[in-house]
Structure 1
Amino acid sequence: MKTTSSAATRVPFWLRWLVPAVLVLAWLAIAGVGGPTFGRLSEVSSNDQASFLPAGAEATEAADWQAKFRDSKEIPAVIVVESDSAFTPAQLRETAALKGKLEALQAGSTVIGPIPSEDAKAVQFVVPIASSAEVKTVVKELRNEVRASAPAGMQTFVTGPAGLTADLVSAFAGIDGILLLVALGAVFLILLIVYRSLLLPVMVLFTSVFALCAAILLVFGMAKA
């Protein structure tokens, strides 16, 4: 009878613990570095419309030509002060004083205005906002200042590209977190029904999240290169 010693084929005890421990630590390290990278994807990505078109597309060429005629990357906020009747000279002077208050906010370069409308029922200002500024915060400050400084009975509006951007950011604020929680809850419920265990669904979800962190880290490195 031929026998084989089990001791000769058995993996050493220390190796059976060392390899999983090293893999777990490496997995945690990758997730720890890749997780914060989620917030840095905007550094290496572009969401303008021309980015999704071929380089030879007419829209791409038009965007390139538009960039040649822009000497600044500031985002304009258009401010309108409106009345139901024509502005009186006193109201025009009071509205013109708003220019200095807007420039005091130091949102960007020189404020343009006041520009009266043809029927003298509205006055417009253009406030350039620096591209490095927090548009949502600056627009909020502009709206508060305009509302407080405009003549009594006037309607005030802060719109334009900056106003639109601020409104979009406010409208979609927190939606990513809600969608993520809903998705995790739905997947956890399905896994709970399938595995009929509390531990296994948690392990599967953690593994998926860690894999996503590793993928984001890889994507960020490749995009940056």
Structure 2
Amino acid sequence: MKNMIIASTSTIHGTAYLSYLLPTLLEDFDKNNIQQLLFIPYARPGGISHQEYTERVRTAFQKTPITVKGIHEFENPQEALESAEAIFTGGGNTFVLVKMLHDLDLMSLLRKKIYAGTSYIGTSAGSNICGLNMRNTNDMPIVMPSSFKTTGAIGYNINAHYLDPDPNSTHMGETREQRIKEFHCYNDLAVVGLREGSYIRVQGKEEILCGTASARIFTKGNDAIEVSPGYDFAPLYKIH
């Protein structure tokens, strides 16, 4: 049974890193007797080192019973992933993250772990890799992965940090909605725009929107629809 938290962001503006997700995470870890969290820091937000990123996560969990280990701290990352009790993939650049996971032959193993029921937490780029591919990321292609294919742990793609158009803005570039419409000129896959403060709680066959914000669902040839917390995304599997 899949057990996932797929979050738009790690941090809500004005709050501490992971603080809005921590109560849910700790409840899940206690329920499943989890004591160690494996962190995947490969997305490297702002180009920080793997160790710096891991220390940020350790700080978030320092007052809890959970021990955090970065996957880069193990001699064999495949063995580390295989034996992980719980996995957290942080945000940053999705191209960098996906390249590393493919280069180290970890993507398929990560999918296997998720489908086996290992607790998985993703934020931003770590949520983008839960879909069938990474083609709805907002990130710059600063490196080229061997494949855009991701874990396929859910049957649709995620657009993390989804932003609505600002009617007062003078910016002339495309909106997120326009970019997703471009995607649907060539792809049939449904896309979920996750706003800040929202996350998808996957437990078995349920994929429930949680948090403080609504989400936006895009499907090819249809108008986008707004959905409120409590909505189950599982039926989207049938729309592509």
TM-score (ref. length: structure 2)? 0.21
Q: Which has the higher contact order (CA 8 A, sep 6+)?
A: 1
The answer to which structure has the higher strand fraction is 2
The answer to which structure has the higher helix fraction is 1
TM-score (ref. length: structure 1)? 0.22
